[in-house]
């Protein structure tokens, strides 16, 4: 819808007809807000909806809800959709096509069983199903969340806030293993455990036990874990099957291949944006799939500007992300050690513990910042933050430094704001940069 809205701003209805097909019940909503609605921090579902179908229609976009596109005919320049309410087939021709199908949850065979109480979390329809189930069930007591990534830890918090006993199962040695380095993941695991969430790492799920058509337990080599509800947080993959069937180019990550203007490579008049596409990591130059709403909205905007006759590009990503579990904040940008090593970098690391405010000011809380810098040049390659209060948004300053190829020594002179209610006189970012600079000099 970002693409549609941008194109409409540039071309009126007489010059461009815009049709949008949507399989579900909602348009333009915050998928990232779903765990917070389920957990109760957001009270109303509609607060997550930025623009309704009727609002889009009023803006001149022909939104057709509950229509599932099942085919793309590039030769005839048309899409084929099923009307899920009225029935029948719809064919719509196009001059330009925007493919924005998002991502689909990774669902192992053992999770694809017909039993009540097993949920994925990808769309607002998914979130509504979980919310309704928790409201409808008389006495759910135990929740098992499988997967310790972003969605997993956020849904673990949501289940705790709904009053359930929660077990988080993660196959890696630490939670958030794809996001942060192991020692930072250990801090996350410790903090989550202190909040009453049972964290089981090194857990390999073998199956789900059911009784009377309902989930009852999750089966692992270490034994069965009782469950009244199971939430799958095993990650997502690009929803590119329809594109592949149509002959659109698919990259090594499984996402649709586009150029910087979000045009599908080698196919005239076809564009793609969001979690279904493959993009480029600015530090490594490698193709990556990073499914985040920040990127999706920017890519959609770029596609819409170009369709509308303007010019815009999407340069790539550096992997900046942030999340929270209860009062624990976790953030990262750039490369982890594993990613830097895979890309061929030689590097040094530096970790510091500091406070969010001046130590004497009420509410000061500890945080840990880790920096990764290239060994010879001192260029900042990545950063990670774990803290309890006012910690994670400091990642934005570090993301700007990574984006602009700053060295950690240059960062020591950054003119960051200071007042006791907001930061120590030496902000934690500056302290970490100083320590990283020392590590670079020692390695020379």
Q: Torsion angle, CA of 372/374/375/377, rounded to 10 degrees?
A: -130
Q: Give me the residues paired with residue 115 across strands.
A: none
Tell me which of 11, 16, 19, 32 is the catalytic residue.
32
Indicate if 276 belongs to the active site: no
Least Cα distance to 401 among 424, 369, 442 occurs for: 369
DSSP character at residue 107: -
Residue 91 makes CB contacts below 8 A (sequence gap 6+) with 78, 79, 80, 81
> Cα(421)–Cα(42) distance, rounded to whole angstroms?
27
Q: Please report the DSSP string for 23-89 in residue order.
A: SSS-SSB-GGGHHHHHHTSS--GGGGBSS-HHHHHHTT-EEEETEEEEEEETTTTEEEEEETTT-SE
Q: Between the CA of residue 423 and those of 13, 329, 359, 371, what are the distances in Å?
A: 51, 17, 9, 19
Give the torsion sign (CA, 157, 160, 164, 169): positive
> Cα(318)–Cα(333) distance, rounded to whole angstroms?
6
Active-site residues, by number, are: 32
């Amino acid at each position: 819808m970002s693409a549609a809205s941008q194109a409409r701003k540039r071309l009126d209805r007489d010059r461009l007809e815009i049709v949008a097909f949507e399989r579900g019940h909602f348009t333009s909503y915050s998928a990232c807000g779903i765990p917070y609605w389920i957990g109760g921090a957001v009270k109303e579902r509609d607060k997550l909806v930025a623009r309704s179908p009727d609002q889009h229609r009023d803006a001149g976009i022909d939104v057709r809800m509950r229509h599932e596109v099942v085919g793309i005919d590039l030769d005839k320049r048309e899409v084929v959709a099923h009307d899920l309410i009225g029935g029948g087939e719809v064919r719509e021709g196009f001059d330009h096509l925007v493919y924005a199908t998002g991502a689909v949850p990774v669902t192992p065979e053992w999770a694809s069983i017909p039993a009540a109480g097993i949920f994925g979390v990808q769309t607002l329809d998914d979130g509504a199903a979980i919310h309704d189930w928790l409201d409808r069930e008389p006495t759910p007591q135990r929740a098992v969340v499988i997967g310790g990534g972003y969605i997993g830890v956020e849904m673990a918090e949501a289940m705790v806030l709904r009053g359930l006993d929660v077990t988080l199962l993660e196959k890696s040695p630490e939670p958030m293993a794809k996001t942060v380095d192991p020692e930072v993941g250990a801090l996350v695991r410790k903090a989550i455990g202190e909040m009453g969430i049972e964290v089981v790492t090194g857990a390999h799920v073998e199956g789900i036990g059911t009784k009377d058509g309902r989930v009852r337990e999750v089966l692992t080599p270490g034994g069965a874990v009782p469950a009244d509800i199971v939430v799958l947080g095993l990650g997502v993959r690009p929803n590119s099957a329809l594109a592949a069937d149509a002959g659109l180019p698919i990259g090594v990550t499984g996402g649709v291949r586009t150029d910087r203007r979000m045009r599908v490579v080698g196919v005239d008049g076809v564009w793609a944006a969001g979690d279904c596409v493959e993009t480029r990591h600015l530090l490594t130059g490698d193709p990556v799939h990073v499914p985040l709403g920040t990127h999706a909205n920017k890519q959609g905007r770029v596609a819409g500007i170009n369709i509308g006759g303007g010019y815009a590009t999407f340069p790539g990503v550096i992997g900046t992300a942030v999340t929270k579990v209860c009062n624990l904040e976790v953030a990262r940008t750039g490369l982890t050690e594993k990613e830097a090593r895979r890309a061929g970098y030689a590097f040094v690391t530096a970790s510091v513990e500091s406070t969010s405010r001046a130590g004497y000011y009420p509410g000061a809380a500890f945080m840990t910042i880790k920096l990764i810098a290239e060994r010879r040049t001192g260029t900042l390659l990545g950063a990670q933050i774990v803290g309890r209060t006012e910690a994670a948004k400091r990642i934005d300053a570090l993301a700007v430094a990574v984006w602009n190829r700053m060295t950690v020594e240059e960062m020591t002179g950054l003119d960051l704001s200071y007042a006791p209610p907001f930061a120590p006189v030496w902000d934690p970012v500056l302290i970490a940069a100083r320590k990283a600079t020392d590590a670079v000099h020692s390695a020379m």
